[in-house]
Amino acid sequence: MNTDNEHWMSIALEEARAGASRGEVPVGAVVVCGGQLAARDHNRSRELADPTAHAEILALREAAAKQGDWRLGDCTLYVTLEPCAMCAGAIVLARVERLVFAAHDPKAGMCVSLGNLVQDERLNHRVDIESGVLAEEASALLREFFQAKR
C-alpha cells in the first residue's frame, strides 16, 4: 500500500475522530494538491445545522478558496468513508483528479457501492478511485460511534 495514501488517510482519520468527539458522524476528509495539504475537515452537519456540511464538501470548499479556483484538477481527496451522492457530485464538479477512500458505504456510497457517479461516462469529468486505504480503522471508528448511539 502507498505510504503517502496511508499518511494522508491517517490525517483524515484524525478529523473523523474530532468530529466524533463533537457528536458528528465520524467522517474526515483531506484535500492534497501538488503533494501539499490544502484542506482538512470533518462532518459538521449537526454543528452548523446544515445537511450539506459533510467533510468532503467542507474540505473541497476550503481547498478551492485557498487556490482561488473551483477547479481542483491537480488534487486528491482522501476521505474515511465512501462519498454519498451529494459529495460524489461535488467531487466531479470540482474536477478532482483522484479520490482515495477508506471504508465502503453499502447504504449510501455513490462511488462504488450503490453506483459510481464519479466515473460515469456520461459526465464530462471522471475521477480515479482507490479504496480500502486504512479501511479497518475507519470502519471500526464508525462501528464504535453507532454502537454508542444505540
Catalytic residues: 56
Name residue 134's amino acid: L
Yes or no: say if 13 and 137 are a contact pair by the CB < 8 Å rule. yes
Name residue 103's amino acid: A
Cα 71 to Cα 68: distance, rounded to the nearest angstrom: 9
Tell me the three state secondary structure of residue 105: coil
Q: How many CB atoms lie within 10 A of CB 86?
A: 16
Residues with Cβ within 8 Å of residue 105, at least 6 apart in sequence: 81, 82, 84, 113
Residue 37 has φ and ψ, to the nearest 5°, of -65, 120
